[in-house]
Chains A and B, each alone.
Chain A
Amino acid sequence: MLHLILFFIFAAVCIAAAINLLAQSHPINSALSLIVVMGSLAVLYLLLGAEFVAAIQIIVYAGAVMVLFVFVIMLLNAGTEEHSGKSYVAWFIGIPSVIALAALVVYSLLLHQGQTGNASVSSNSMIGSVQEIAKLLFGKFLLPFEVTSVLILIAIMGAVVLAKRGDN
């Protein structure tokens, strides 16, 4: 019961913050809304029993990635953006696509109601625990995990090379 109440509260906060992210005209307010979205997603993960994923969501996304976003916005001292309100692409492609996507998600959820509706996670299950995730990461999914690490390393080195190019 408490799980359900908390789920609806944080789902509502998440959606409200996501809409606020789009509606705000100042970049720093948008960035802060995104932090609220990340935080409420972490709470939703926690409610599903995925405690490790929830903690990593906070540490990596809210605590590191978004700090860099805010840092750059502060450093560049980006000002308020102006809404032109004249984008025909948004009116004629964007909004119909959103409606189509939402309809598709609702349709597939209703179609597979039997399989998804009763997938609840009890609080004492070990699905989201650190040990289970470690076993999956370093056992079954070792190769994808390591390949992703190499990919990220290459991206970091690429960023360093691009940043250093201006010096010569």
Chain B
Amino acid sequence: MLTYIVIAAIKSLVLIHVLLGAVAYTVWLERKVVGRIQNRWGPTRVGPFGLLQPIADGVKFILKEDLTPPYVYKPLFILAPFLAVVMALTSIAVIPLGGQLPLGRWSTGLQITSTADGTGDINIALLILLGVTSIAVYGIALAGWSSNNKYSLLGSLRASAQMISYELSLGLSLVGVLLLAGSLSLRKIVNTQSGGLVHWYIWPQLIGFFIYLVSAYAETNRIPFDLPEAETELVAGYHTEYSAMKFAMFFMAEYANMFTVACVATLLFFGGWSEPWPGLTPQSLPPLVKALAPLFWFALKVFVFIFVYIWVRGTLPRFRYDQLMAFGWKFLLPLAIANIIITSFIVAWQS
């Protein structure tokens, strides 16, 4: 019991630091890639290729004055950014990153919530992910309301309505994969896709993946669905009144959510940590490196997804608000339901 808690605590500590590091460098990557898309350089001054820019930004955020404007509702104004960042980091706990990690005499599962022997998983891991995502809206909603600023309030109203609407299609788009895999455990879903590219669920669930992709962009408030923080209409939306580290927390939450969404897409549609085709990892590698190879494949797939995120940001214009709602309710939701019905018919016919 105690060893299990200690191991889980160590894993959480390592994973949260890796995630926060990845978040910092995703900001750098985004500035670089968007810069190149717009025929600019992006950050170049701090360190080689501007690689130290995230560290400089972090120092700046910590040293800046943390201003609390008058007339805000203080308890919730302080609580909101914490809520946003805690919810964004919680979801990483149930995500499996690979099979087993052998360390000398004993081995452990590459997942915070794996069972003690490292092979099992929680049965409802995916539902926990959806639950945490649905709670995450409170951070943004309360931030806007407690700021006592009309632009913040409008931003957070938009965010709540948008996230509730797209959560439905997001959840329903995953049902097709669940029907094919026959389980809610993320480990089992990945294991049913092993054996290379052709077994990935993206091929039978191409429509499901499309719905997931669009709803995921809307859930994380990213372009083309970033109406809650549309700078041409709402100053900066729900985080207008926030400064210094509290502002940085919303930033961190947004990018951590991007990672969660990318991880779920990788696990459900792209075969998780399995190789694109069997035997791609060289057999001559030392055992520890070979054990870490699944992590490499997982990270590569997540990176591709994040890159597409940034690419879309550099390419697409923003939706109008009524278009956003109509698209979610009148197009994505019926399409997701049709996808479920057709998939269940095929699954029932094959069994």
Contact = CB atoms under 8 A, between A and B. Distances in A.
Contacts of A28: 76, 142, 145
Interface residues on A, range: 20 to 34
Interface stretch (A6-14, A48-56, A112-120, A157-165): A48-56
A130 interface: yes
Interface in B133-190: 133-135, 137-138, 141-142, 144-145, 153, 156-157, 160-161, 163-164, 167, 171, 184
A35 B142 CA distance: 13
A70 B163 CA distance: 13
Interface in A75-104: 75, 77
A115 to B, nearest CB: 29
B131 interface: yes
A71 B141 contact: yes
Contacts of B1: 2
A59 B122 contact: no
Nearest to B127: A55
Nearest to A63: B134
B1, B135, B161, most chain A CB atoms within 10 A: B135
Nearest to B79: A32
Given A62-B134, A63-B134, A63-B135, A71 B124 contact: no
A130 B163 CA distance: 26
Given A2-B1, A63-B167, A70-B138, A52 B157 contact: no
A74 B153 contact: yes
A64 B156 CA distance: 15
A55 B141 contact: no
B128 interface: yes
A62 B131 CA distance: 8
Contact of A70 (B127, B128, B160): B160
B130 interface: yes
A56 B128 CA distance: 9
Interface string B244-272: 00000000000000000000000000000
Contacts of B127: 52, 55-56, 59
Given A70-B141, A71-B141, A58 B157 contact: no
A132 B1 CA distance: 29
Contacts of B133: 63
Interface in A31-66: 32, 35, 51-52, 54-56, 58-59, 62-64
B123 interface: yes
B123 A67 contact: no
A32 B142 CA distance: 10
Contacts of B145: 28, 70, 74
Given A2-B1, A59-B131, A67 B124 contact: no
B134 A71 contact: no
Contacts of A52: 124, 127
Nearest to A59: B131
A137 B13 CA distance: 41
Contacts of A56: 127
Contact of A55 (B124, B142, B157, B161): B124
Contacts of A143: none
Contacts of B134: 58-59, 62-64, 67
A71 B340 CA distance: 30
B124 A130 contact: yes
A148 interface: no
Contacts of A68: 164
A59 B137 contact: no
A59 B123 CA distance: 16
A25 interface: no
List the 3 closest pairs (A to B, CB-CB), nearest first. A63-B134, A55-B127, A58-B131
28 contacts: A32-B76, A51-B123, A51-B124, A55-B131, A56-B127, A58-B131, A58-B134, A59-B127, A59-B131, A59-B134, A62-B131, A63-B131, A63-B133, A63-B135, A63-B167, A64-B134, A67-B141, A67-B164, A70-B142, A70-B160, A71-B157, A71-B161, A74-B141, A74-B145, A74-B160, A77-B153, A130-B124, A130-B184
Interface of B: 1, 76, 122-124, 127-128, 130-131, 133-135, 137-138, 141-142, 144-145, 153, 156-157, 160-161, 163-164, 167, 171, 184
Given A58-B131, A67-B134, 5 more contacts: A2-B1, A28-B76, A55-B130, A64-B134, A67-B164
